[in-house]
Amino acid sequence: MACTSTRPSPESSLASHASEADGGERERELEHEIAKLKRINAALIERVEASNLPRSAPYAAFEHSVLLAEQVRERTQALNQTTHELRASNRLLAEARERAETAGQHLVDAIESITDAFVLFDADQCIQRFNSRFAEFWRPAGIRIRQGMRLEELRRLALSSGLVISEQMGHRDRRTVYQLHDDRWVQVHQRPTRGGGRVILYVDITELKRHEHAQREHALAQKTRLLQATVDSLSQGVAVVTASGMLEMCNQRFRDLTGLESLEVPHPFAALCHSSRLVDAADAEGVTAACERRLEDGRVVEVRGHAMPGGGQVLTYTDVTERIRHAETLREREHWIRTITDELPAMIAYLDHDLRYVFTNRVYEEWYGWPRDLLLGGEMEALHSQEHCARLRPYLTRALAGESVSFEFPEQSASGEHRVLLRAYVPHYDGEGEVIGLFVLIRDITERRRTAEALHQAYQNLEQRVRERTAELTQVNGQLREEIAERAAAEQRLREAKAEAEAANLSKTKFLAAVSHDLLQPLNAARLFTGALGEQDVAPGGQELIEQIGRSLKDVETLLGTLVDISKLDAGVVTPDVDAFPVAELLDGLAREYRQVAASEGLGFDYVPSSAVVRSDAQLLTRVVRNFLTNAIRYTGEGRILLGCRRRADGLEIMVGDTGMGIATEELGVIFQEFRRSHAAGRRQDRGLGLGLAIADKISRMLEHPLAVTSVAGRGSLFSVRLPYGELAPRSQLSQAPTAAMGENVLEGRRIWVVDNDADICEAMRVLLTRWGCRVVVADSEASLAAQVAVATAPVDVLIVDYHLDRGDTGLALAERINARRQGPLPVMAITANHSVELRQRMRELGYSLLHKPVKPLKLRMALSRLVTGRLSG
Number of H helices, E strands in the chain: 24, 29
| Biggest alpha carbon–alpha carbon distance for the chain | 201
Regarding whether 34 and 102 lie in a shared domain, the answer is yes
Cα–Cα dist 65/72, whole Å: 10
The SS3 call for residue 195 is: coil
Residue 70 domain-assigned (yes or no): yes
Under a CB-based contact definition with an 8 Å cutoff, are residues 79 and 30 in contact? yes
Instruction: Walk along the chain (874 residues) in steps of 10 and give the mean pLDDT of each run.
Output: 40 46 67 79 68 57 73 80 81 81 76 80 85 82 82 81 75 70 80 83 81 82 77 79 80 78 75 66 61 77 81 82 80 76 80 85 80 73 83 89 88 82 89 87 83 80 80 72 66 74 60 56 62 63 62 56 58 72 90 88 92 88 88 89 92 92 74 59 48 78 87 88 85 43 69 88 85 89 89 90 85 89 88 77 85 79 84 50
Based on the domain organization, do 328 and 304 belong to the same domain?
A: no
CB 653, CB 625: distance < 8 Å: no
Q: Please indicate, yes or no, whether residues 33 and 92 belong to a single structural domain of this protein.
A: yes
Q: Looking at the structure, do residues 158 and 199 belong to the same domain, yes or no?
A: yes
- Complete DSSP assignment for 65-116: HHHHHHHHHHHHHHHHHHHHHHHHHHHHHHHHHHHHHHHHHHHHHHHHH-SS
Q: Give the containing element (helix H, strand E) for 563.
A: helix 540-571
How many folded domains does the chain comprise?
7
Does residue 779 lie in a domain region?
Answer: yes
- Model pLDDT, residue 851: 85
CATH number of the domain that residue 392 is part of: 3.30.450.20
Cβ–Cβ under 8 Å, residues 157 and 140? no
Query: What is the C-alpha to C-alpha distance for residues 636 and 72, in angstroms, rounded to an integer?
Result: 142
What pLDDT was estimated at residue 358? 83
- Which of 514, 530, 546 marks a domain boundary? 514
Residue 732 domain flag: no
- Cβ atoms within 10 Å of 322's Cβ, excluding its own: 10
Q: Number of C-alpha atoms within 13 angstroms, CB side, residue 646? A: 12
Q: Quick one: 596 and 711 in the same domain?
A: yes
* CATH code of the domain containing 772: 3.40.50.2300
142, 49: one domain: no
Find residue 755's DSSP bridge partners.
779, 801
**Phi, psi values for residue 62, rounded to 5°:** -65, -45
Among 319, 353, 385, which residue terminates a domain?
A: 319
Residue 93: CB atoms within 10 Å: 19
Same domain, yes or no, for 786 and 821? yes
Distances (CA, A) of 356 to 380, 382, 409, 433: 6, 9, 20, 20
Q: How far apart are CA 290 and CA 282, in angstroms?
A: 12
φ/ψ of 432, rounded to 5, equals: -95, 10
- CA dist 590 to 328, 583, 629, Å? 41, 11, 9
Distance CA 5, CA 56 (A): 76
**Are 40 and 84 found together in one domain?**
yes
CA atoms of 188 and 571, how far apart (whole Å): 111
706 and 585 assigned to the same domain: yes
Residues 692 and 595 in one domain: yes
Task: Kindly state whether residue 564 falls inside one of the protein's structural domains.
Answer: no
Contact by Cβ (8 Å): 854, 832: no
Residue closest to 868 by CA, chosen among 827, 814, 829, 831: 827
- End-of-domain residue from the set 319, 339, 363: 319
Residue 640: predicted pLDDT: 93
What's the start-to-end Cα distance of the chain, in Å?
A: 131
| Separation CA 168–CA 177 (nearest Å) | 5
Residue 220 lies in a domain: no
Residue 348 lies in a domain: yes
Q: Is residue 530 part of a domain?
A: no
Domain that holds residue 685: 575-723
Same domain, 794 and 818: yes
Report the candidate in 552, 559, 547, 560 with the shortest Cα–Cα distance to residue 521. 560
Cβ 739 vs Cβ 786: under 8 Å: no
Within-domain flag for 535: no
Q: Is 297 in the same domain as 391? A: no
Report the alpha-carbon distance of residue 93 to residue 16 in Å, rounded: 6
Q: What CATH number corresponds to the domain at position 638? A: 3.30.565.10
